[in-house]
């Protein structure tokens, strides 16, 4: 019985490691469309465009490319288009509510630079090189950037004119 247990344990450990590596983790297409290409090359013919959220398993890797089988087609997809997690909804942040007021937040951070410097025992001279004095912030200009909206029809027109996808 003791012998049995020992061998079961060893077999389990070996199987565990082998299993862990051979059981491919699912990967998900993150881009709006992920090109499945004939070869692991950027200019290789596209076999199929996989929509965002498509789950697949990688058979092998070749450099930065995953070799995958989708239905009857075997091809390659670049790892920069995929991730190990299901893609987030594009309006995911709205569910958590908008972030705190930026200007207020930046002011608080500016003051916390001084607090942090004091905590670390820095002299007033050193603190000039630290935090806010070293990297002054401009929350108003940032808000200007954040308030800029691209209209969907302007973007579409821009893409069509330039022959973009």
| CA separation, residue 6 to residues 1, 3, 9, 17 (Å) | 9, 5, 5, 17
Of 71, 124, 145, 153, which one interacts with other proteins (CB under 8 A)?
Answer: 145
Instruction: Determine, following the binding rule CB under 8 A, whether residue 128 of this chain makes contact with other proteins.
Output: no
Residue 100 DSSP code: P
What is the chain's percent helix, strand, coil content, to nearest 5? 45, 20, 30
Q: Are 57 and 68 within 8 A, CB to CB? A: yes
> 96 vs 124, which CB is nearer to other proteins?
96
> 43 vs 123, which CB is nearer to other proteins?
43
In the complex, the smallest distance separating the C-beta of residue 59 from other proteins, rounded to whole angstroms, is 17
Instruction: Determine, following the binding rule CB under 8 A, whether residue 164 of this chain makes contact with other proteins.
Output: yes
| Residue whose entry in the numeric block shows the structure tokens 């997690």 | 85
Count of other CB atoms within 10 angstroms of residue 44: 15
* Phi, psi of 59, rounded to the nearest 5 degrees: -80, -40
Instruction: Determine, following the binding rule CB under 8 A, whether residue 16 of this chain makes contact with other proteins.
Output: yes
Instruction: Determine, following the binding rule CB under 8 A, whether residue 119 of this chain makes contact with other proteins.
Output: yes
Helix (H, G, I), strand (E, B) or coil at 139: helix
Of 30, 36, 50, 76, which one interacts with other proteins (CB under 8 A)?
Answer: 30
Q: How many residues bind other proteins (CB under 8 A)?
A: 76
In this structure, are strands 55-62 and 26-29 parallel, antiparallel, or unpaired? antiparallel
In the complex, the smallest distance separating the C-beta of residue 63 from other proteins, rounded to whole angstroms, is 7
Instruction: Determine, following the binding rule CB under 8 A, whether residue 3 of this chain makes contact with other proteins.
Output: no
Residues 56-95 that bind other proteins (CB under 8 A): 63-64, 78, 80-90, 92-93, 95
């Amino acid at each position: 019985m003791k012998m049995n247990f020992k061998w079961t344990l060893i077999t389990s450990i070996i199987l565990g490691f082998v299993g862990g590596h051979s059981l491919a983790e699912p990967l998900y297409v993150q881009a709006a469309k992920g090109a499945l290409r004939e070869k692991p090359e950027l200019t290789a013919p596209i076999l199929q465009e996989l929509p965002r959220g498509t789950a697949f398993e990688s058979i092998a890797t070749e450099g930065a490319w995953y070799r995958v089988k989708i239905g009857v087609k075997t091809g390659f997809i670049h790892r920069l288009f995929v991730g190990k997690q299901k893609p987030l909804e594009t309006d995911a942040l709205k569910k958590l509510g908008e972030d705190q007021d930026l200007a207020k937040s930046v002011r608080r951070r500016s003051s916390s630079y001084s607090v942090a410097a004091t905590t670390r025992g820095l002299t007033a001279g050193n603190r000039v090189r630290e935090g806010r004095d070293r990297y002054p912030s401009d929350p108003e200009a940032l808000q200007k950037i954040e308030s800029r909206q691209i209209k969907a029809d302007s973007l579409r027109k821009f893409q069509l004119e330039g022959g973009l996808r």
